[in-house]
Amino acid sequence: MQAVDFRDECDALHAALAGAPAAAWTLPTQFKGWTFDDVLGHLHLFDCAAEQAVRGREQLLAFLGAIAAGRADGTSLTEFTRRWLQGCRGAALLERWHGYYRHLADVFRPLEPSVRVAWAGPDMSVRSLISARQMEVWSHGQAVFDALGVERVEHDRLRNIAIMGVNTFGWTFVVNGRDVPSLKPHVRLESPSGAAWEWNDAASAERIEGSAVDFCRVVTQTRNVADTSLRVSGAIATQWMAMAQCFAGPPEHPPAPGTRFMRR
């Protein structure tokens, strides 16, 4: 199921990019000034890494080792990715990514979801890894939809990302060097279809309620919580939403209020 959700999330971004004017591809987005080429290059690079992960630990380590070697002189990951693509950009990159993500979905679909594989950080289950790929497509894709001034049509496959957001409550505190609270806030979200999704003790005074889309935007750091309609109650819940991070790596700061938005 998660492999299909990943493919469908990619298809939605592919459709938006296929209809984008050529001039939009080279303009900086609100995410670190990345262009559409940079977004797709990043997604494609780590889709390739994900396939190596299911092929075996040695294959993944070799792939990641090549990235590290290519950046040993201080080259940024974005610049390394541009070199790795060897000039592939625009429509050619779009179709290269399109063919590969569909291949990757086919690779993941028959795998046992609970099997653990190596990754850049701790080992992950196959289910978690392909959900993380969907999360990256959705979160980086937000910069594309924002730049195009297009409201993305959301679906209940967003639940995979919401689950990652809830499950990384402790990680958010750990990566920011803080003690993990013993009390987890109750999370109650309205899905794109109107269904209610809930996690943790419903009687808790620590609460986060509202749109699942807004919650996922906060935990993926595509929006500041102040720019959403989420209702946040309690000191722990407030602290969490102020620094929520559902992805691996060093601590990242959410965008400042008002800096990520859909252009009109």
Instruction: Check whether 257 has a pLDDT greater than 90.
Output: yes
The rounded distance, in Å, linking the Cα atoms of 112 and 110 is: 7
Domains annotated for the chain, with CATH where assigned, are: 2-153 (1.20.120.450), 159-243 (3.30.1050)
Grade residue 164 by pLDDT with cuts at 50, 70 and 90: very high
Q: Is the pTM of this model over 0.85?
A: yes
pLDDT in tens, 65-119: 999 999 999 999 999 999 999 999 999 999 999 999 999 999 999 999 999 999 9
> Is residue 102 a contact partner of residue 4, using CB atoms and an 8 Å limit?
no
- What span, in angstroms and rounded, lies between the C-alpha atoms of 78 and 85? 11
Find, among 264, 12, 1, 3, the residue nearest to 138 by Cα: 12
The whole-number pLDDT of residue 264 equals: 86
- Judged against a pLDDT cut of 90, whether residue 122 lies above it is answered with no
CB 207 within 8 A of CB 185: yes
